[in-house]
Structure 1
Amino acid sequence: MSRRAALAVVGVLALVVGGLVGWRLTHRGTPLQEALALVPAATSRAAWTDWDAVRRELGADVGSGSDADEVDAFVSDAFSRDLSSMSALSTSAGLMQEELGFSPATLSWELLAQSTDGAVEVMGVGPDVSFDDVAEHLAEHGWTEPSDEDGVWVGGTDVLSAVGDLTPELQHVALLADEGLVITSDQAPYLETVLDVVHGDDDGADDLADLAGPLGDPVAAATYDGDYACEKLAMAQADDADRAEGEQLVEAANGVHPLTGFAMGLLGDGALRAVLQVEDADDAPGDARARARLAGGPAPGQGGDFTDRFRVADAGAEGRDVVLDLDPEQGEYVLSDLTSGPVLFATC
Structure 2
Amino acid sequence: MPRRLWIVAAVVIALVVAVGGYVWWRHDDDRTSFAWAVGHAPGGAQRLSWTDWAAVREHEHADLSRSSSADDLRTFLDRAYDDDLSSTSALVTSAPMLQERFGFSPANADWELFSQTYQGAVVMLHLPSSVDLDDVADHLRDLGYQEPDDPDGVWQGGEDLVARISPSLSGELQYVALDRPDDLVLTSDSASFLGVALDAVRGHGARATGFDAVVDDAGEPLSSAVYSGDYACGALAMAHAGAADQAQAKRLLASAGEVNPYSAFAMSDEPDGSVRVAFEFDGDDVARTNADTRAALARGPAPGQGGTFGDRFRVTSVTAHGSLVVMHLAPRADASVLSDLSTGPVLFATC
TM-score by length of 1: 0.91
Which structure 1 residue ranges, 5 or more long, are not aligned?
1-18
Pick from 190, 193, 196: which aligns with 2:196?
A: 193
On the 8 A contact 1:172/1:191 being kept in 2, the answer is: yes
Pick from 309, 325, 329: which aligns with 1:322?
A: 325
Cα displacement (A) at 1:264: 0.3
Counterparts of residues 149-228 of structure 1 (less than 5 Å): 149-164=151-166, 165-228=168-231
Deviations 1:233-258 (A, max 9, x none): 12111111111111111111112101
Pick from 244, 248, 251: which aligns with 2:251?
A: 248
Q: Which amino acid aligns with 1:193?
A: V
SS at match of 1:341: coil
1:288 equivalenced with 2:286 (yes/no): no
Deviations 1:135-160 (A, max 9, x none): 11100111111122211111111111
SS at match of 2:211: helix
Q: Which amino acid aligns with 2:59?
A: E
On the 8 A contact 2:95/2:105 being kept in 1, the answer is: yes
Deviates more, 1:124-133 or 1:181-190: 124-133
Counterparts of residues 19-38 of structure 1 (less than 5 Å): 26=28, 29-38=31-40
1: CA distance, partners of 2:66 / 2:131: 7
Cα displacement (A) at 1:201: 1.4
Q: Which amino acid aligns with 2:34?
A: L
SS at match of 1:207: coil
On the 8 A contact 1:34/1:209 being kept in 2, the answer is: no
Q: How many residues align?
A: 327
1: CA distance, partners of 2:189 / 2:101: 18
Cα displacement (A) at 1:27: 6.0
Cα displacement (A) at 1:283: 0.6
What is the match of residue 12 of structure 2? none
Q: Which amino acid aligns with 1:256?
A: V
On the 8 A contact 1:99/1:163 being kept in 2, the answer is: no
What is the match of residue 234 of structure 1? 237
Q: Which amino acid aligns with 1:93?
A: A
Deviates more, 1:315-324 or 1:92-101: 315-324
1: CA distance, partners of 2:135 / 2:78: 26
2: CA distance, partners of 1:295 / 1:112: 27
Deviates more, 1:49-58 or 1:28-37: 28-37
Q: Which amino acid aligns with 2:254?
A: E
Cα displacement (A) at 1:28: 7.0
TM-score by length of 2: 0.90
2: CA distance, partners of 1:318 / 1:309: 25
What is the match of residue 113 of structure 2? 111
What is the match of residue 39 of structure 1? 41
Cα displacement (A) at 1:39: 1.3
What is the match of residue 11 of structure 1? none
SS at match of 1:259: coil
On the 8 A contact 2:50/2:114 being kept in 1, the answer is: yes
Larger Rg: 2
What percent identity do the matched residue pairs reach? 45
Cα displacement (A) at 1:279: 2.3
Q: Which amino acid aligns with 2:287?
A: A
Cα displacement (A) at 1:161: 1.2
